[in-house]
Amino acid sequence: MPMNHPSPVTDFSCPPILAMDDDEIFQNIDGRMHGPMSGFIDKYFGRFQHTYQGSILELRKDERICGRYTVPSAAPLPNSFLPWFSDFATCELDSARGSWHTFSDNTVAEEKSACDYSVGFALHMPTSSVSGVKMQWDCAQVVGQFHPNDYLPYQDGLIQLCRSAHDVFISQPTRLFLHGL
């Protein structure tokens, strides 16, 4: 049953579950982050065939069409990524299984000027189809961080991403893995 949401990308304030300092987060990363492993795509996504028809990407599995997506002609510029992402996320809102939410990292906002910002985002898949429900970490399926400027060192961005992941794992203690962007 499709879920209807008033807006697929919304701001939310989702405070950390358990405050951890940067050193604790950094130490917790060791040995716990992995890239795609051999067989991962086949195991979780099967063998998809894809074809381009103009600006449309068509995905097929077992000779059946399982998805059609509009492919942007060019990657969005960093300054226009969030509006592009919002438009992209609304393309197939009626058939979406969840909704994307964005949030800002207050610690970065306090330390940097207004033109330098960090935005986190999460794919929220609530267990009920009630729309307008506030984002909770226990419904997050994917977390990500976006930094449009080069002011943020890689390690700091990684720590912010891992802090969001930590909050998801605290809220979902039986969860085995999480996708990060």
User: Domain residue spans in the chain?
Assistant: 9-15+74-180
- Of residues 74 and 116, more confidence is placed in 74
Rounded CA-CA distance 74/37 in Å is 29
Average pLDDT over residues 24-39: 70
What per-residue confidence (pLDDT) applies to 75?
A: 72
Q: Tens of pLDDT along 78-119?
A: 777 777 776 766 665 555 567 777 777 554 444 444 445 677
Average pLDDT over residues 169-180: 87
Q: How many alpha carbons fall within 13 Å on the CB side of residue 144?
A: 13
Given a cut of 80, is residue 175 above it in pLDDT? yes
Q: Tens of pLDDT along 36-65?
A: 666 666 666 666 777 877 788 787 777 888
Share of the chain above pLDDT 70, in %: 59
Given a cut of 80, is residue 137 above it in pLDDT? yes
